[in-house]
Amino acid sequence: MDITRTDTLRRDWPGPAAVLALLKPITWFPPMWAYACGVISSGQPLSPSLIAAALGMLLAGPLLCGTSQAVNDWFDRHVDAINEPDRVIPSGRMPGRWGLYIALLMSALSAAVAAVLGPLVFVAALAGLALAWGYSAPPFRFKQNGWIGNSAVGLSYETLPWITAATAMTGLVPETPLLLVALLYGVGAHGILTLNDFKSIRGDTEMNISTLPVLHGASVAARIACVVMAVPQLAVIGLLAYWSLPYHASGIALLLAIQVACMRRFLADPVGRAVWYSSVGVGLYVSGMMLAAFGLRQAFLTTPIG
């Protein structure tokens, strides 16, 4: 094969590094963490279910989340050319329509793995895929509105994996306390997604994508993000205290107090400090998730709650 032919093939097929860049491994952490919270909070023995738990985390992170990243990058390639031209599709490292082909292949693989974990998990995975495509693809394109789009992502990144994991562990629909905590953390994740919107205000404005910073301005959007992150955590603290889990409630209260201190610095310069607060505040937020999961586990293993 001559050099010209080899160069043509390289341009027609994406390299492994380009595929990995499209799937964005750094974004897999939130749903995998939420899935781990679901496994722990289910109250089921961990050792007999390690393989199923590992498969579920693979489904939540690399497969479903990776699919959502591929879908989003394909349908956002025009706005990314303005906001982040170095991304894998606008930069040309992902040639032709390969971004779309990979999104379709990942969707099929996600559904196949979910089917192995049981019918309830399969249904949950289909719901996750529907949200992933609806978020980015027309005609729905939920991301056109920051209130709707960020709600869809928050629920699919935090609530859905948490509930799916608990369902996979028990074979049953989770009990109400677990559903409540998972839902509250999914609602709070709306604020986390808003933090991610500050870096793309210019391109979103040009492309008529109504994120909260575009709709309300950076200062107001920052306040909304902080309130949306804090209020669900306050509710979780109250629920854990009501369920006689004072140590877990106090731990989350401490984590929230540190977040509030960081929020004050973030609010002084929302655009300049959004990335900083995302890295600091989100770490504290998800630590509280795991603490709540261990609290639920303790409650389910001792006295039933509800």
**C-alpha separations of 56 from 34, 40, 49, 139 in Å:** 11, 13, 10, 30
What helix, strand, coil percent values describe the chain, rounded to 5? 80, 0, 15
Distance CA 79, CA 136 (A): 12
**Tokens standing for residue 27:** 């974004």
- Lookup result for tokens 């895929």: 129
Domain of 201, in residue numbers: 7-301
- In-domain check, residue 67: yes
Q: Is residue 45 in a domain?
A: yes
**How many domains would you assign to the chain?**
1
Contacts 24+ apart (CB under 8 A), 251-254: 251/288, 251/291, 252/288, 252/291, 252/292
Q: Is the pLDDT of residue 142 over 80?
A: yes
pLDDT in tens, 240-293: 999 999 999 999 999 999 999 999 999 999 999 999 999 999 999 999 999 999
Residue 4 has pLDDT above 50, yes or no: no
Query: What is the CB-side half-sphere exposure of residue 186 using CA atoms within 13 A?
Result: 25
For 186-225, how does the pLDDT look when each residue is reduced to its tens digit (9 = 90+)?
Answer: 999 999 999 999 988 988 888 888 999 999 999 999 999 9
Separation CA 163–CA 56 (nearest Å): 12
Percentage of the chain exceeding pLDDT 90:
78
Residue 306 domain-assigned (yes or no): no
CA dist 43 and 135 (Å) reads 33
With respect to residue 117, please indicate whether it lies within any of the assigned structural domains. Answer: yes
Residue 70 forms part of a structural domain? yes
On whether residue 1 sits in a domain, the answer given is: no
Contact 34, 162 (CB under 8 A): yes
146 belongs to a structural domain = yes
The answer to whether residue 257 sits within a structural domain is yes
Q: What is the pLDDT, as a whole number, of residue 11?
A: 59
Residue-level pLDDT at 48: 64
